[in-house]
Structure 1
Amino acid sequence: MCIISFLHVFFFPLYDMSTTRGNLRTYMDFEQSLCMNNIRKRKTWKHGRCPRYGIVTIMQGGRLGNQMWEYASVWALARRTGLEPYVPQCIRVKLDQLFEQLTVPTFEEIGHCPVEINYFVKSLEAWNYTNQSIILPKYSIQIDLVLTWVQDIVQEFTINKKLLKKSQQVLHLAIKDFQMKNYTFVGVHVRRTDYIGYLKRKHNTQPAEPIFYKTAMKIFEKKYQNVVFIVVSDDPLWCWKKFGYKSNVYVASKQQKNSPALDLAILASCNHSVYDYGTFGEWGAILAGGETIYYNLSHHSSARIGQLMKNWQTIEEYQRNHI
């Protein structure tokens, strides 16, 4: 956890509060400084009590998967320290479109309260007393803390009924031509497009070859009956060319592009998962529960998740355990 936090601080440095310290008078100003873009100013703010001690918050960074980790990191760090958790409106507004019972508030109720920037530290390791606040850098992933309460965070990320209904429609569409019963749905996440360049720059590696996904599919087909693979990808055409020959493979977004929210709901609705890399696929597998076969990529957050989650295995680990 410390290594991952350090890397994020190193590559994505904390916003330099000193340059705007004179302008950050209230938490309303402070919330704006945490967001990548200007957020909509509220016409009215609820005037609740001001924090008695410190708070935990985070800067916005990345897209849906990253922002789920940012939210979860604040949630877990607050549980660990007893500090009050808050996430900026720019994170909550996106997550509220997916989830129906998020408990970490925005700064709405304390927007009028004065903020003391001098009392903020950047990590749990630097936190020494309850009057100190913690502001995590963007892209922070507090894996060890979050997964300590994995079932609770899964409950926190309860997908709303509208998206769940749409995801179930996709699953039913995938089996409409079959006559079998008691299907086992395996969500397959295939990340390509922009991530191919990222893998080369950050990990000096190439994207997963089709053999990875095919081998993982064979593992699930051997273990379960009536397996149907639901492929979610940012490159559905590539997936159709590589796996479309299999009668039990359904490529979502092949004809009409789904929203990221619906794709996540689809992955979460499956029984098991095949996952390559990226925070989006991580959350799809975590929310699905069940077994996960993941791509063996060193120094990636998935490697640490695989160490902590007993139901996560690489293909190599699975083969060693089933000789």
Structure 2
Amino acid sequence: MPNTNHNLLFKAIILALCVISFVHVFLFPLYDINAGRGTVRTYMDFEQSLCTNNIKKRRIWRLGRCPQYGIVTVMQGGRLGNQMWEYASVWALARRTGLEPYVPRCIRIKLDQIFEQLSVPMFDEIGQCQVEISNFVKSLEAWNYTNQSIILQKYSFQHELVLTWVQDIVQEFTIKRKLVEKSQQILHIAIKSSTAKNHTFVGVHVRRTDYIGYLMWKYNAKPADMRFYMSAMNFFERKYRNVVFIVVSDDPVWCWKKFGIKKNIYVTSKHHKNSPALDLAILASCNHSIYDYGTFGQWGAILAGGDTIFHKISHNTSGNFSPMLKNWHTI
């Protein structure tokens, strides 16, 4: 009789273990999307894996609707200019595919400080939903059907799709009123000693500091020299009247030394460093643009509209999408 009881107990334990294994394997699959970042079960976990730094998990107070088909999202990488491209790439791919777009909070938190009402939601709305990592692909080219999801890698640059709807993305990136008002104040300061009227403002973005080493490493190229900037300025002075150049740079001291001889140049951040948000608002408030390289200068020019002169350092830079923007030129 005792042996019978032991056999029944043993069978019960085996049955319990089988049930537990079934639940974990089939009902709650465990995925590790990023080694070292923990197990991904839900979209709230998944959001953590998309960010370069850990973000605080939010408590889900009510269950929301889970995606019926696939989604489009992106991994965080780079600073403001790169993250604007990452956001815009998700926005454009969702429009192209019909999939639902979502961006992680680590990107939205930064962009929400600058722009009025971004339309792409965060993962809060689907945080409790289960993730099927096996259904994710990394590009539009690898995407085959609507139940598949797309996860773009960091530094994604879906320029052809984004610029197809360039006016719409400009509206999407509507800068907050307080930043626009501050940028307008700076433009007024730049012309306070001028007696002319109807000025034409040309934003000039000069990228130096960390980018000089990057240019040599990535492209084996030297930074833009004064010939580029002066040639670009001459282009605008020949084409428009009462031109004022508003220089935004991560090295304003260098710019003041180089450009200070021209009376119609105003270098921002000479005395107090501006935030990237204000620098972007200044560039976007101008009529036309000059920039040397980098995603920040690209977005300043896109948001400003008008004519743009850029420094082409390789076929992989702005030159490969300038044909889509007929008012963009290189020297």
User: TM-score with structure 1 length normalisation?
Assistant: 0.91
Aligned-pair CA distance for 1:72: 0.1
Partner of 2:284, secondary structure, is helix
Q: Is the CA contact 2:60–2:128 (under 8 Å) kept in the aligned structure 1?
A: no
Amino acid at match of 1:259: S
What residue number does 1:306 align with? 322
One of 274, 277, 296 as aligned partner of 1:280:
296
Amino acid at match of 1:301: T
- Paired with 1:188 and 1:21, the residues of 2 have a C-alpha distance of 41
Where does structure 1 lack aligned partners over 5 or more consecutive residues?
1-15, 316-323
One of 126, 150, 154 as aligned partner of 1:138:
154
Say what the alpha-carbon RMSD is for the aligned residues. 1.3
Q: Is the CA contact 1:45–1:108 (under 8 Å) kept in the aligned structure 2?
A: no
What residue number does 2:279 align with? 263
Partner of 2:321, secondary structure, is helix
Partner of 1:37, secondary structure, is coil
- Paired with 2:88 and 2:325, the residues of 1 have a C-alpha distance of 17
One of 265, 288, 307 as aligned partner of 1:249:
265
Please tell me whether residue 95 in structure 1 is matched to residue 108 in structure 2: no
What residue number does 2:165 align with? 149
Instruction: Call closer, same or farther: CA 1:121–1:45 in 2, change over 3 Å.
Output: farther
Where does structure 2 lack aligned partners over 5 or more consecutive residues?
1-31
What residue number does 2:204 align with? 188
Q: Deviations over 1:274-312 (max 9, x none)?
A: 011000000000000000011021133311221211000
Q: Is the CA contact 1:45–1:111 (under 8 Å) kept in the aligned structure 2?
A: no
Percent identity of the aligned residues? 74
The number of residues matched between the two structures is: 300
Please tell me whether residue 128 in structure 1 is matched to residue 123 in structure 2: no
- Paired with 1:137 and 1:223, the residues of 2 have a C-alpha distance of 41
Map 1:230-245 to 2 at 5 A.
230-245=246-261
Amino acid at match of 1:115: V
- Paired with 2:294 and 2:62, the residues of 1 have a C-alpha distance of 37
- Paired with 1:18 and 1:254, the residues of 2 have a C-alpha distance of 43
Instruction: Call closer, same or farther: CA 1:186–1:112 in 2, change over 3 Å.
Output: same
Partner of 2:197, secondary structure, is coil
Q: Is the CA contact 1:76–1:145 (under 8 Å) kept in the aligned structure 2?
A: yes
Aligned-pair CA distance for 1:48: 1.9
Structure exhibiting the larger radius of gyration computed from Cα positions? 2
Q: Is the CA contact 1:143–1:304 (under 8 Å) kept in the aligned structure 2?
A: no
What residue number does 1:8 align with? none
Please, which moves more after superposition, 212-221 or 44-53?
Answer: 44-53
- Paired with 1:22 and 1:289, the residues of 2 have a C-alpha distance of 44
Q: Is the CA contact 2:34–2:49 (under 8 Å) kept in the aligned structure 1?
A: no
One of 41, 47, 59 as aligned partner of 1:25:
41
User: TM-score with structure 2 length normalisation?
Assistant: 0.88
Higher RCO by CA contacts (8 Å cutoff, separation 6 or greater)? 1
Aligned-pair CA distance for 1:179: 1.2
- Paired with 2:328 and 2:188, the residues of 1 have a C-alpha distance of 26
- Paired with 2:37 and 2:223, the residues of 1 have a C-alpha distance of 43
